[in-house]
Amino acid sequence: MSQEKIYDIPADFAARANISEADYQAMYQRSIDDPEGFWAEQAEKFLSWYKPWDRVLDWSYDADNLYIKWFEGGKLNVAYNCIDRHLEQRGDQTAIIWEGDDPNDAKHITYRELHEQVSKLANVLKERGINKGDRVCIYMPMIPEACYAMLACARIGAVHSVVFGGFSPESLKDRILDSDCRVVITADEGVRGGKHVPLKANTDKALEACPNVHTVLTVQRTGGKTQWHEKRDIWYHEAVANASADCPPEEMDAEDPLFILYTSGSTGKPKGVLHTTGGYLLYAAITTQYTFDLHEGDIYWCSADVGWVTGHSYLVYGPLANGTTTLSFEGVPTYPDASRFWQVIDKHKVSVFYTAPTAIRALMREGDEPVKKTSRDSLRLLGTVGEPINPEAWEWYYNVVGDGRCPIVDTWWQTETGGHMITPLPGATPLKPGSATRPFFGVKPGIIDTETNKLVEGDGEATGALVITRPWPGQMRTVYGDHQRFVETYFKTYPGYYFSGDGARRDADGYYWITGRMDDVLNISGHRMGTAEVESALVLHEKVAEAAVVGYPHDIKGQGIYAYVTTVKGVEPSDELKAELLDLVRQEIGPIAKPDIIQWAPGLPKTRSGKIMRRILRKIAENDLDNLGDTSTLADPAVVDDLIENRANK
Ligand code: WT7
């Protein structure tokens, strides 16, 4: 092994783990040598099928004829797999523990209750004319009804598009229109950290521009006042009260769409990542089982919001497909105080906890005391997701939160990959803080040398662009409504491979170290944001001539948003204008996209052909002035001196 600090597998953990180191080696090798045989076995083991598939895998990564099909001809239903088949053995077991924003609010929902709630809601959707293949938008706070809504869609074969409750009416509108959703499920208000979020009012605003939406189902969460549109709006509780609890699941083809989830890219508006039924569910189920080393009786908590892919795969589909008890938390880590996460763990005896590095860093800043005053005895495994974790935060999570007993699984994956791609299996993988370690079964990563644009042969040390060389069941199938964009975004940079957009280093032990995005995508607190989206919002202001947005290292968020703004001729920059711009971004996208820093730029560094040199802007934002590189080719090299002189991050 190389010289990094290594954490061995605790002996008691290894003794009862589902996958040992020897198992990993053997199963991984098999999954690469005989992928179809391997995945056929797993599909039988993890899922229940109405009808077996005709063919395990059919694929082509050729840009002119790109397709990926898993288990074609196989028939199954996702809600059946996540609920019905567990009823006999687990009817009275808790499926979902809901922990409210207020520490006095909690609910346990059994698999039987989940079955009833989902079936009723599915019938409501049917009554409102929703059929197999129709799109339903879910714009919800973290309440059990959000899970019911996803599963109700799956039950009848409708395609859900969950939009994060922190997005603005404008973003909601774009997403509803792009996938032509006809129904929106929402709540009167969300509750987070004691504050109310006006979801229904946001929905009303968005729908001013969405004439095709004929039904809005609203959960009464707070009883706050809302406007009511007679024909269109129905109360969730009233509709469900009158609905039958008998709703046979729709038999879906393995390749029928399950959901669309919008995510940011380096250009244009967010794209609708499409996942299908069989491959996605299998991949969510198997990764949940093995990465989190699930055992009977585990209480599993993923702190992600259902608005992100982590909430889809590791709060809802993966855990429920395995018959696990999954905890859904409405609130935030710091409310009522910085001890909340650890108190929830004690209260519900959580054994597996999965969260984001940004939350760990924020809580680490509050010191050890809020952690140490809780017991956390129930914990046996910790996980992280969403961005690279710095070794300092890793060590704190390991030693303070986990008391040095619990392995940490640092899981690298993406909205596009459906589930974990590079991750430790806790009973099989010695850990190195900051490394996502080794590929999951069936995943064949590659490193492209960016000088030669060629795949580095073999499995030795390498640094470059991270690609995946062949399909895995959880892979996205297309960009909804724009297959060409799918091809262009992921398969054109390095022909024949799926390009992740990330850079990585592979060390001598075959461990992967993700170095971050290579494109103009930012990662703010584990949330993806395109620089182009923020720039488009800024230039909507009549006093803004031009804007360029880059990321810079941020202690808590991982990356912060740094915006260079040029005002139109004759307009003096002012704090007032700054406030207006922040508000504009909040309105256009949502609070998560608000720049941390706005620097007024009399001019932007451009090449003679007018292209903005982002590399230079990035270096100035990072305060890394020794590595500005060659500025002599700029149309006006003097603008750089002004930007350096007035940089905000000294
Ligand atoms: C991007 C994907 C994965 C679900 C949540 C985010 C970064 C994700 C890690 C990790 C280093 C990571 C990558 C990736 N990322 N996990 N463990 N270590 N970087 O999903 O919004 O689709 O973002 O998040 O840059 O490309 P997403």
Domain ranges for the chain, please list them: 525-646
Q: What is the pLDDT of residue 268?
A: 85
Which atom of ligand 1 is least distant from the CA of 423? 17
Within 8 A by CB and 6+ apart from 432, the residues are: 4, 5, 6, 7, 511
Residue 310 marked as a ligand binder: yes
Is the CB–ligand 1 distance for residue 517 below 6 Å?
yes
The full 3-state SS of 582-637, as one line of letters, equals HHHHHHHCCHHHCCCEEEECCCCCEECCCCECHHHHHHHHCCCHHHCCCCCCECCC
Give the pLDDT confidence score for residue 477 in this predicted structure: 98
Which ipTM was obtained for this model? 0.99
Q: How many Cα atoms are found within 13 Å in the side-chain-facing hemisphere of 143?
A: 23
Nearest CA to 585 out of 543, 540, 552 is that of: 540
User: What count of other Cβ atoms lies within 10 Å of the Cβ of residue 469?
Assistant: 14
Cα angle 296, 300, 301 (rounded to 5 degrees) comes to 175
Residue with tokens 């290292």: 553
Tell me the CA distances in angstroms from 421 to 25, 28, 44, 509, 512, one per residue in order.
Answer: 16, 12, 21, 17, 11
The verdict on the CB of residue 414 being under 6 Å from ligand 1 is: yes
Q: In this predicted structure, what is the pLDDT of residue 2?
A: 46
Max Cα-Cα span within the chain: 74
Half-sphere exposure of 279 (CA within 13 A, CB side): 28
pTM of the complete model: 0.97
Name the strand (E) or helix (H) holding 449. Answer: strand 445-449
Other beta carbons within 10 Å of 23: 15
Q: Is 16 annotated as a binding residue?
A: no
Shortest CA distance to 5 belongs to which of 431, 460, 480, 569?
431
Residue type, 602: P
Give the residue, out of 306, 514, 521, with the most ligand 1 atoms within 8 A of its beta carbon, to mutate for a pocket test.
Answer: 514
Would the annotation count 135 as a binding residue? no
pLDDT of residue 1: 41
Structure tokens at 313: 């795969």
Q: 410 among the known binding-site residues?
A: yes
- Tokens read off for 160: 């859900």
CA of residue 415 to ligand 1 center, whole Å: 8
Phi, psi (degrees; rounded to nearest 5) at 31: -65, -25
Helix or strand (DSSP H, E) at 431: none
Sign of the Cα pseudo-torsion (425, 428, 433, 438, in order): negative
The response to whether 475 counts as a known ligand-binding position is no
For tokens 């399909």, the residue is 471
410 CB under 6 A from ligand 1? yes
What is the distance in A from the centroid of ligand 1 to the CA of 391? 17
CA–CA dist 437, 422 (Å, integer): 6
Read off the tokens for 59. 């694929």
Residue 400 labelled as part of a binding site: no
Paired sense of beta strands 183-187 and 135-139, if any: parallel
Distance 387 CA to ligand 1 centre (A): 5
Instruction: Write down the CATH number for the domain with range 525-646.
Output: 3.30.300.30
Residue 361 has which token pair?
């860093």
With CA atoms as reference, report the closest residue to 423 among 364, 382, 395.
382
Q: Is 99 in the pocket of ligand 1 (CB under 6 A)?
A: no
Can you tell me the distance from the alpha carbon of 260 to that of 179, in angstroms, rounded to the nearest whole number?
Answer: 8
- Pairing outcome for strands 252-253 and 257-263: unpaired
- The residue whose two tokens read 């062949």 is 470
Nearest alpha carbon to residue 153 among 212, 208, 78? 78
Spatial separation of the C-alpha atoms in residues 282 and 47, rounded to whole Å: 7
State the amino acid at position 441 in one-letter form: F
Q: Is 175 annotated as a binding residue?
A: no
Residues found in the chain? 650
- Which residue lies with its CA nearest to atom 13 of ligand 1? 387
Amino acid making up residue 56: V
Q: Distance of alpha carbon 233 from its chain centroid, rounded?
A: 30
Q: Whose CA is nearest to atom 6 of ligand 1?
A: 386
Q: What number of other Cβ atoms are within 10 A of residue 230's Cβ?
A: 6
Cα 474 from Cα 254, distance rounded (Å): 12
What distance in angstroms lies between residue 562's CA and the mean position of ligand 1's atoms?
20
For residues 19 and 427, the answer to whether their CB atoms sit within 8 Å is yes
CA of 525 to the centre of ligand 1 (A): 10
Ligand 1 mean position to 414 CA, how many Å? 5
Does the Cβ of 84 fall within 6 Å of ligand 1?
no
Q: Where are the beta strands (DSSP E) in 269-320?
A: 271-276, 299-302
The best mutation among 162, 274, 413 to test binding of ligand 1, ranked by most ligand atoms within 8 Å of the C-beta, falls on 413
Q: What is the dihedral of CA 210, 213, 219, 224, to 10 degrees?
A: 40
SS3 content of the chain, % helix, strand, coil (to 5): 35, 25, 40
The rounded average pLDDT for each run of 10 residues, N- to C-terminus, in the chain (650 residues) is: 78 94 97 98 98 98 98 98 98 98 98 98 98 98 98 98 97 98 98 98 98 98 96 98 97 98 91 98 99 98 98 98 98 98 98 97 97 98 96 97 97 98 98 98 98 96 98 98 98 98 97 94 93 96 96 95 96 97 97 96 91 93 90 87 90
- Compute the distance from residue 386 Cα to the ligand 1 centre, in Å: 4
Which helix (H) or strand (E) covers residue 69, if one does?
strand 67-72
Interatomic CA distance for residues 184 and 181, integer angstroms:
7
Query: DSSP readout, 533-553?
Result: HHHHHHTTSTTEEEEEEEEEE
Distance of CA 443 to the CA centre of its chain: 19
